[in-house]
Structure 1
Amino acid sequence: MVYLEEWPVFLSSVQNMFLNKPNKTRYSVKYKNGKVALKVTDDQECLQFLLDPKYDFEKLENINAWFLSNMSRLPTEQSSV
């Protein structure tokens, strides 16, 4: 899998993916080899970005806040009981 190298490109692509398919988009954060790996997928496209936690912590905070804010606005599916 390929990692995007420019943060603005990654962020705008992630936002477009989520806004187009909010119920299919998943977001994960993993710490590996001293870096933070961000992965966003909608099962058709996969976007990845590596952050250095020493220098890019604000970017991680911003994308987490964006996802939490937007995911909390999604309507919940009502189950029929």
Structure 2
Amino acid sequence: MVLLSDWQAFVLAVRDMFLHSPNTTRYTMKYKRQSAELTLKVTDNVTCLKYRATNPAELKNVERLGHAFMQWTLQPSSASKNLPFDFLPSGTSESAPSQREGKPRRRRRGA
């Protein structure tokens, strides 16, 4: 079991684990109320990665990782090289889109 203290290293290791074995990789979350600590555990039955989030600001990253994990599981196996990976700071990910995709938002008048 590997306990990682750096969020970026944890996310990159999780992505590599998912690329290596997408059918067996899973994650769990556990919250300890007394110490206000959220523990993320990702495993593929061979390797186990853990990350402990103690800062409430890190919860947004945890939510984004869960969303990305769901996107990865819904992708066909032929597209595994192009996994969506757009929640790290810029300069960290090569496959992150540079612009927001979809329709541009309309501005309200008078605002």
Structures share fold, TM-score greater than 0.5: yes
The code of the aligned residue for 1:9 comes to A
Map of 1:5 onto structure 2: 5
- In 2, Cα distance between equivalents of 1:13 and 1:2: 10
Map of 1:60 onto structure 2: 62
Moved more, 27-36 or 52-61: 52-61
TM-score by length of 2: 0.62
Identity over aligned pairs, percent: 35
Q: Secondary structure at the match of 2:56?
A: coil
- Quick one: higher RCO (CA 8 Å, sep 6+), 1 or 2? 1
Q: After TM superposition, which residue ranges in structure 1, 4 or more long, deviate above 2 angstroms?
A: none
1:6-25 map, 5 Å: 6-25=6-25
Contact 1:36 1:50 in 2 (8 A): yes
Q: Give the deviation of 1:2 after TM superposition.
A: 4.2
Gaps of 5+ in 2: 78-111
Map of 1:71 onto structure 2: 73
The code of the aligned residue for 2:19 comes to L
Q: In angstroms, what is the RMSD of aligned CA positions?
A: 1.6
Map of 1:78 onto structure 2: none
Q: Give the number of aligned pairs.
A: 75
Larger Rg over CA atoms: 2
Gaps of 5+ in 1: 76-81
